[in-house]
Structure 1
Amino acid sequence: MESNPYIPYPAEILEISQESPGIKTYTLRFEDDKIQEKFNFNPGMFVQLSIAGVGEVPISISSSPTVDGSFELCIEKKGRVTSALFDMDEGSKVLVRGPYGNGFSLQGSKGKDILFIAGGVGLAPLRSAIDYVHHFRKKYGEVQIFYGDKRPSCLLFQRCRDRWSKYFDMYSICEVAEPGWTGEEGLVTDLMDKVSLDIKNSAAFLCGPPVMYKFVVVELKDIGFADQDIYLSLERRMECGIGKCRRCNVGNKFVCEDGPVFSYDEIGDYTDKET
């Protein structure tokens, strides 16, 4: 994009998909074709979405960078800006600046087995990474996906999960079952006994509520994952996007600039503070 990181550009809402109660996916395209062509990102990065007269909010990109001509944001209705966005229709205009941050280490994980672990809306930024790995499937080893949420009606991306299950070893689990649910019941940590990867040649990518990290990381370390092979997204701490407000620090690092994705050996001493 352009060199000035403060400038937001108009983008049109091309499509709105209802994912679950209170969560929608917005397909966007910049009005300026040149801006759209220059919009390059890695899975795990984020943008700042703003609505004139309302405010702006940081949102992780949920589509893969391999998709041309548009990008997607999966958004939970939570706050002033997202509430205003939920009142908008297809064809409406918003403002977007970015992308910002550093994403998941997918380039450095080529040739490795991959474990994706998502909790709740944390599947949104991981979706970008999963679709990226699917696009370049031959460059990676075995892939497992563990996804947990409160109840089946909360589960995101049904269309994607159906596709992923054809190519990857995928498990979904819910804390509370609902009528018709035939999947696992419990917490995402209850799936850890299903890990069947070559641990010494694997990378784990996590995104979910902070409390999930506290327990999942322990499980991963117990089965042999090295700290440098465990990657966590701290997307919930994102603020201004360019490290100027200084509100997103984790130790001596800033989520907007150095993250939002970190390896556990970078921030392990601070993850307990996230809960």
Structure 2
Amino acid sequence: MNVYRPHLAIIEKIKQENDDTRTFSLRFIRKKIRDEFRFKPGQFNMISVFGFGEAPFSISSDPEIKGRFEHTIRRVGTLTNALFGFDEGHVVGVRGPFGNGWPLDKAKGKNLLLIAGGTGLISLRPAIYHIMRNRSEFGDVELLYGARSPSNLLFIDEHNLWARSKNFRMFLTVEKVSNGLKWDYEMGVITEHLDKIKTDNNPIVFLCGPEIMMKYTLKELMRLGFKKHQIYLSMERRMRCGIGKCGHCQIGPKYVCRDGPVFVYDDVENLPDKLL
């Protein structure tokens, strides 16, 4: 695929995930492009809304499903406002996939701790699909997922399916619950519940969420005895071209779009111009 040219994709289905987030199921119009498209969990596409611009979005679907792919997108600005005005059948432009993705090969045979804050679960969802599909290749898996409130949670209809998987433990936590709403899970921010995890034997950690959330989660993981080389995090901010040419996402010698967006903590801890 030409990395500079967007290919046309039709919006086949739109699912409302919560008040400000939707999942768009896309299919390339050209069969050749559709048949060639493959992605790894943690990679992203550049989505063009013609007349409004282009922006990076993590791919949120099962990587084994061919012929279509999904993007779960939160409404936050001009481009996404325009996209949310589209109906099924509208056309967008797509370049990608870009980035390195989650190092699932390095996690084979090991226990996994997945930590997601807010929309950070979008990037981790394809990895969860891969783990579920290849369950015997991984050890125990724990998912700690936090959001501001129950109404902000994503992929609610899939949580029970994940939790029922063998040796898969899931923790949900929210910062606040509306009066009168029944909530049977945890309360508080993610860092308040890291001491509940039981995954041992030097697990691999996948971390994704707002940078301020990742900053304090990393501090708590260090306090709990995790090593920097065990922790992989996705830094998805400020990407523009997707291929390391414009320099917009450069942090020191690293380009988030080209060298990431997934980095081992060892490699980014001391980079300039960051919040971690």
Q: Same fold (TM over 0.5)?
A: yes
Q: Which residue of 1 aligns with 2:196?
A: 194
Q: Which residue of 2 aligns with 1:104?
A: 102
**Structure 2 counterpart SS, 1:214:** helix
**Structure 2 counterpart SS, 1:148:** strand
Change (3 A) 1:111 1:271: farther
1:102-141 → structure 2 map (5 Å cutoff): 102-141=100-139
**Matches of 1:10 and 1:256, distance apart in 2:** 22
**Matches of 1:199 and 1:207, distance apart in 2:** 22
**Matches of 1:39 and 1:54, distance apart in 2:** 25
Q: Which residue of 1 aligns with 2:156?
A: 158
TM value normalised by structure 1: 0.96
2:48 aligned with 1:47: no
**Unpaired segments ≥5 residues, structure 1:** none
Change (3 A) 1:100 1:113: same
Q: Which residue of 2 aligns with 1:26?
A: 24
**Matches of 1:50 and 1:230, distance apart in 2:** 32
**Matches of 2:160 and 2:239, distance apart in 1:** 31
Query: Residue deviations 1:212-252, cap 9 Å, x none?
Result: 11111122222232211100100123221011110101221
Aligned residues: 272
**Matches of 2:70 and 2:275, distance apart in 1:** 27
In the alignment, is the contact (CA less than 8 A) between 1:66 and 1:135 conserved in 2?
A: no
State the AA in 2 paired with 1:116: L
Q: Which residue of 1 aligns with 2:256?
A: 255
**Matches of 2:64 and 2:259, distance apart in 1:** 23
In the alignment, is the contact (CA less than 8 A) between 1:50 and 1:56 conserved in 2?
A: yes
**Matches of 1:195 and 1:254, distance apart in 2:** 33
**Matches of 2:249 and 2:72, distance apart in 1:** 22
Query: Residue deviations 1:153-195, cap 9 Å, x none?
Result: 0000011212111112001100001311221110011221121
Change (3 A) 1:240 1:272: closer
Query: Residue deviations 1:244-266, cap 9 Å, x none?
Result: 11010122100010000000001
Structure 2 counterpart of 1:88, from 86, 89, 107: 86
In the alignment, is the contact (CA less than 8 A) between 2:24 and 2:72 conserved in 1?
A: yes
**Structure 2 counterpart SS, 1:236:** coil
1:223-262 → structure 2 map (5 Å cutoff): 223-262=224-263
**Matches of 2:147 and 2:204, distance apart in 1:** 22
State the AA in 2 paired with 1:24: R
2:185 aligned with 1:183: yes
In the alignment, is the contact (CA less than 8 A) between 1:24 and 1:75 conserved in 2?
A: yes
**Structure 2 counterpart SS, 1:138:** helix
State the AA in 2 paired with 1:107: D
Q: Which residue of 1 aligns with 2:140?
A: 142
Moved over 6 A (4+): none
Query: Residue deviations 1:95-146, cap 9 Å, x none?
Result: 1010001111001110010110000011101111111111111100000000
In the alignment, is the contact (CA less than 8 A) between 1:214 and 1:271 conserved in 2?
A: no
In the alignment, is the contact (CA less than 8 A) between 1:214 and 1:272 conserved in 2?
A: no
Q: Which residue of 2 aligns with 1:68?
A: 66
State the AA in 2 paired with 1:189: T
**Structure 2 counterpart SS, 1:75:** strand
**Matches of 2:161 and 2:251, distance apart in 1:** 36
Q: Which residue of 2 aligns with 1:37?
A: 35
State the AA in 2 paired with 1:231: Y
**Matches of 2:212 and 2:271, distance apart in 1:** 13
**Matches of 1:220 and 1:55, distance apart in 2:** 38
2:6 aligned with 1:8: yes
**Matches of 1:255 and 1:55, distance apart in 2:** 20
Please report the RMSD computed on the Cα atoms of aligned residues, expressed in angstroms: 1.3
Q: Which residue of 1 aligns with 2:207?
A: 206
**Unpaired segments ≥5 residues, structure 2:** none
In the alignment, is the contact (CA less than 8 A) between 1:213 and 1:271 conserved in 2?
A: no
Q: CA deviation at 1:28?
A: 0.5
**Structure 2 counterpart SS, 1:43:** coil
In the alignment, is the contact (CA less than 8 A) between 1:63 and 1:73 conserved in 2?
A: yes
State the AA in 2 paired with 1:95: G
